[in-house]
Amino acid sequence: MSKDDTLSEEEALQLILEPGFSTASTISQISGRGIGMDVVNSEIQKLGGSLFIETKVGIGTTFTLRLPFTIALNETLLVQTGKDIYALPDNFIEHTLPIGRHQLNEIYQQQTPCFTWNARHFPVLYLANLFNETSTPTTSNTAALVLLRHNDNLVALHVDTILEKREIVLKPTGPQLPYVRGISGASILPNGKVALIVDAKILLNIVQTVYQPRSLNTHRANEPEATLNVLVVDDSVTVRKVTQRFLERYEMQVTTVKDGIEALDQLNKTIPTIILLDVEMPRLNGFEVAKQVRDNSQWQHIPIIMITSRFGKKHQKMAKRLGVNIFLGKPYQENELLSHICQLTGKEFKA
């Protein structure tokens, strides 16, 4: 631009985005070098966005940043149990219907609570029991059943109230609730409340494999025990392979994962009989995994054998405090490990 050029106000304001442009009469080590707004504008352009500036002398300046981004809108049904709001994915919902106190009482008096609809039997589960086993099903005037289906898996969720259908944006739950089984995320509603988004596939899997009414426990007690399932968590490929081969010699089913994040993902899919857990791992260490397991009502019964090169008293105390059953040093003795597995699972294996 030359000194004779006439600039509009908008063009003049854009000058502050140019590299090296500064209105400062002097510069310091941290300001006045004409770098700040140039960097901001450059990064916005890299993202495919734009920056607009409006200003009025003596009043103030407005910077408007426009950035393109993709959001996934989920069609959900908002329901409530107690004070908690949950979002159920709409594509899994087969049917919804109100249900009265008398009919609910009849359902819960059954040995296996079940609701029949269109000649199909839906196991009934109070939604709050998925996350808190001590919750007592209510029989309010607004109670309802939400029938969910995925392939041949069925469940009738008993909820206190059906609120509304709503498109919501899935957000991560953050570090406090990253691996609550059956929750895929959360969303902030217009009224400021948080709705937890239910993972329907995980929920249906829980009903099929984990959720067993107490009345069934006696009946199943005399059935042959299933094969021992062992989850091996270690970031060393060598340790994983050696341990897997050793355990498979005794016809155990072994699943191996390389860190704590993969371990929690695997626990959401299948609940093992026992966990062999390393301490030092990337992303999520063994102590953090042990805490997550013991804090989760669906997993807290699983025995944990911690196997680590960190064998100091401090680490042993921490493991004990977190509820680790056995603490072994590396390299472990195979006969000793096998003995502990027998002790914790009630199985017998000849060394």
What does the DSSP assignment read for 180-200? Answer: -TTEEEEEE-TTS-EEEEE-H
Q: Has residue 134 got a pLDDT over 70?
A: no
The share of the chain scoring above pLDDT 90, in percent, equals 23
In DSSP terms, 229 is beta-bridged to 253
Q: How many CB atoms lie within 10 A of CB 333?
A: 10
Q: Is 250 exposed, middle or buried (0-12, 13-18, 19+ CB in 10 A)?
A: middle
Q: How many CB atoms lie within 10 A of CB 295?
A: 13
Average pLDDT over every residue of 325-338: 88
Contact yes or no for 146/93 (Cβ under 8 A): yes
Which residue in the block uniquely carries the two structure tokens 């249906």? 204
| Listed residue (313, 267, 315, 326) closest to 287, CA to CA | 315
Local confidence band at 63 (pLDDT 50, 70, 90 cut-offs): very high
Peptide bond into 98 cis (omega under 30): no
CA gap 347, 274 in Å, rounded: 12
Q: How many CB atoms lie within 10 A of CB 331?
A: 10
E strand map for the chain:
50-56, 60-66, 73-81, 84-89, 93-98, 114-117, 120-126, 144-150, 153-159, 161-169, 183-188, 194-198, 229-233, 253-257, 274-277, 304-308, 326-329
Local confidence band at 217 (pLDDT 50, 70, 90 cut-offs): very low
pLDDT score of 343: 86
Please list, in sequence order, all residues whose beta carbon lies within 8 angstroms of the beta carbon of residue 301, skipping any fewer than 6 positions away: none
Rounded alpha-carbon distances, angstroms, from residue 331 to 254, 256, 338? 19, 18, 14
Average pLDDT over every residue of 337-351: 82
The two most distant CA atoms of the chain are separated, in Å, by: 97
- CATH class of the region 73-209: mainly beta
Between 1 and 309, name the one with better pLDDT: 309
| Listed residue (127, 129, 169, 119) closest to 144, CA to CA | 127
Q: Has residue 69 got a pLDDT over 70?
A: no
- Mean residue pLDDT across the chain: 83
Q: Has residue 273 got a pLDDT over 90?
A: yes
pLDDT score of 221: 39
Domain positions in the chain are 9-66, 73-209, 229-345
**β 73-81/84-89 pair status:** antiparallel
Contact yes or no for 91/52 (Cβ under 8 A): no
Please list, in sequence order, all residues whose beta carbon lies within 8 angstroms of the beta carbon of residue 21, skipping any fewer than 6 positions away: 15, 34, 37, 38
Residue 296 one-letter amino acid: N
pTM of the predicted model, to two decimals? 0.45
Contact yes or no for 165/132 (Cβ under 8 A): no
From its phi and psi, is residue 73 left (phi > 0), alpha (psi between -120 and 50) or beta? beta
Q: Has residue 225 got a pLDDT over 70?
A: no
| Listed residue (275, 286, 336, 334) closest to 308, CA to CA | 286
Average pLDDT over every residue of 199-228: 55
pLDDT score of 153: 81
Written as six digits, the tokens of 262 are: 């993969």
Q: Has residue 260 got a pLDDT over 70?
A: yes
Please list, in sequence order, all residues whose beta carbon lies within 8 angstroms of the beta carbon of residue 93, skipping any fewer than 6 positions away: 77, 146, 147, 148
Local confidence band at 16 (pLDDT 50, 70, 90 cut-offs): confident
Written as six digits, the tokens of 221 are: 């007690």
Report the CATH fold assignment for 229-345. Answer: Rossmann fold (3.40.50)
Which residue in the block uniquely carries the two structure tokens 């570090």? 175
pLDDT score of 125: 87
CA gap 63, 53 in Å, rounded: 5
What sign does the dihedral 213-215-216-217 (CA atoms) show?
A: positive
